[in-house]
Amino acid sequence: MSNVTALRPDGATDRFSYRHITVDPVTPIIGAEISGVDLRQPIDAETAADIQKALHDWRVVFFRDQDISNDQLKAFGRAFGPLTPAHPIAEGLEDHPEIWERSVEEYRTRRSRNEAAPPGREPPRDYKGWHIDITFVANPNRYSILHGVEIPPYGGDTLFANLIAAYEGLSAPIRLLIDGLQAVHRTSGYDSAGAKPRRDGRSTGPFVSLHPLVRIHPETGEKLLFLNPGTISHIVGLKEPESKALLDLLFYEATRPEYQVRFHWRPKSLVVWDNQAVAHAGPIDYSNFDLPRAVRRITIAGDLTRGPDGFVSQPLEGELFNVLG
């Protein structure tokens, strides 16, 4: 395949270049569409490296018209590392335990069950489901891959926010303040109490972990705001009003529109995001439409998170999110 270089709108050559894929940025700060790849076929190491580079450059990448099977979805994911089970507290498909299927109805049921606030604080008024995947474990997944199986003609969009840009947008005194802080993440909103035993014998929780409030990206070395409104209960060492005020400030900053991209799904679309650097929310309008919608997700195994001061995440309750044995 010939060399392909991403271009800015003015036609000037961008510093982001790729040899085996075509990359079209969606916004200047986050999101790009990748073409020139047929995921029905195994991708070679060079193409996988280009996709990973685009993922680190643009934080989330979008593929269109990928009519792939569950096995092909998993094969694509394995090009970037070992797959995890579908979810720490939810079963995957019976024949594909790595795949988590979500429907609009499940979103509604889950959200209504999760209305109770995490212990110690209420979610921000503009929460709207923003989260990083699976931070209630000490080693949340590295990447997330989501495939559209049943997509309505409108509605069901997903928002993504660049947490590296959010951190860099903070003033220097605030960055200095939060660089050495840790926060507790827990599964309180997921209501795992009374869950049925899993087929794979894994625990259904609860899970509680202690994470740095600022994370060092393990692959790029960048600092980012490691913030999950859905699971953080409090910042360690601060009084409750201080913790709440600081978290509200950081939640607001992390979800500013200038750090976001909005993805409109079409059938067979596929999205890959760097869960080490991105928060997302979706489907953002699930309560306002009743059309069928189903997506399938796989996740790539991740490492313990590390802060600028060297603090490494600790599991306080529950096991690590290990790969399938």
146 - beta bridge partners?
271, 297
Which DSSP letter does residue 179 get?
T
Q: Which of 50, 57, 133, 274 is catalytic?
A: 133
In the block, residue with structure tokens 């997330």:
144
133 in catalytic set: yes
DSSP secondary structure of 24-40 = EESSSSS-EEEES--TT
What is the full DSSP assignment across 54-105? Answer: HHHHHSEEEE------HHHHHHHHHTTSPBPPSBTTB---SS-TT-EEEEHH
Active-site residue, from 96, 121, 217, 297:
297
Longest Cα–Cα distance of the chain, Å, equals 58
The catalytically annotated residue of 59, 131, 215, 217 is: 131
CA dist., res. 140 & res. 261, Å (int): 22
Q: Is 280 a catalytic residue?
A: yes
Cβ atoms of 300 and 86 within 8 Å: the answer is no
Query: Is 297 designated active site?
Result: yes
Asked if residue 283 has a cis previous peptide bond (ω within 30° of 0), the answer is yes
User: How far is 201 from 49, CA to CA, in rounded Å?
Assistant: 35
| Contact (CB, 8 A) for 111 and 277 | no
The pairing of strands 143-150 and 270-274 is antiparallel
Options 234, 280, 293, 296, the catalytic residue: 280
Does the active-site annotation cover 131? Answer: yes
Q: Residue 127: is it exposed, middle or buried by C-beta count within 10 angstroms (0-12/13-18/19+)?
A: middle
* In contact, 227 and 113? CB cutoff 8 Å: no
Contacts 24+ apart (CB under 8 A), 11-18: 16/54, 16/57, 16/58, 18/50, 18/53, 18/54
Give me the active site residues, please: 131, 133, 280, 297
